[in-house]
Structure 1
Amino acid sequence: MKFIHLHIPKTAGTSLRESLAAAHPELVIKGIVDAVPDSVGPDVDVVSGHFSYDDAMRFGDQVVTVLRHPVDRFVSIYYFWRELYEKDIERTRKTTVAHALSLLDFAQAFDEPELCSELYNRMAWQLHSSYRLMHRFEHRRDRNLTEAMLFEETMANLRRFAVVGFQDRYGDFVSALNDRFTLDIENRKINVTQRRSSVEDLSHAEMTAILPWVEVDMEIYTTALREFG
């Protein structure tokens, strides 16, 4: 296997898979959605999906990922879910909530369990072990895991990755992948949300409401930028 792509939602994962398939049709690329299998066949060259660190380690140690500014990712997911609802592609609890609420009200909906799983320090937990709420609870209960420990252990995991890239420097990530794994991927963007606000457009109230969702994510992102950017 060449590598495992740990795809944090809304970090150009679709672009990577499509570009890889176009450039290298000889590669067997397996996209994974729940449930994550214990293993994949020996013919698989690349595994990609929204699985977590613990899942990725079952497939091998050549893990790659792309990080995105956590506030920007939060806003992008909100508008992406609204788009899914409005186009009648997905009518689930999370897309319905995003459709029904303004960004400010959405960011204040801390009592929505699915939003907690998908958005509350999601990047940190996905890179640490698992973003599932029950798994988080078990870590806190069994290990007395603090946010400081979550940060330190997640950074330790990232330092073992083969390539760590950044959404706003996606071309550099593609170049690093090409160099590391002898590939010829082009820099292409696919599955971009059509209508959304930028971080610079957020009101003070919106920013204040979003930041508690991504406190550890922000610490990881800024540290990773210093180390890998």
Structure 2
Amino acid sequence: MLTVLLNLLILPILMVSMYFTGGEELAPFLEMILGAQAKDVVVLAMVGFHGVVTGLNQVASTAVSREGPMFWMSKMIPVSPKVQMRAKLIYSLLFAFVQLVILAGVGIWFFKLGALRFVVLMALGILVSVPVSIICLLNDLHRPKLNWTEPQQAMKGNFQTMVAWLLSMLYLAAVAFVVRGFYLLGLSAGWLYGISATLLAISSYGLLTWLDHASESVYVKL
């Protein structure tokens, strides 16, 4: 889990470095370029960044692979594959939540987002964590690396973690493309937040349904 912990520290280290190299001028610069909606754009950008790092942290993308040669035990215990995969999802979301809290704290300190935008960032951050984590879980479920001899190989030597991240990036890019389209139409921040939440919620439901079905059909074949 060292890789995961290092990923959690990427943003704080980056922001602190930027702050002490003149980054305190970034917020006024964004307001000058983007206008009144600058901080709302920052919130949406941070939600996207959170999604990117969630796909990178390898918790969900190696959830099955980390069981390795002992995976047969998961097939023997009296717990359905659907429940097991949902448990892995919850575990992944807990890590994503810790990451989100750090991100939101940085947002308040660095961009002076305020209480309302903090709540929006947390809500959208939780929502984006779900589909990204499910995409990573689905990829690992279909292409797990179970034949490792050292636990580190499940994460560091697993090319499928990069594939899972790229798939999650495609998903995030699609959502961003739609939201950007509405932004260019001149919609208010409230509408942009609502559209983002709706897209994330609907896709989460669809992906969760897919995960449930895949769990029951794929588990027995592994």
Higher strand proportion: 1
TM-score where L is the length of structure 1: 0.25
Higher helix proportion: 2
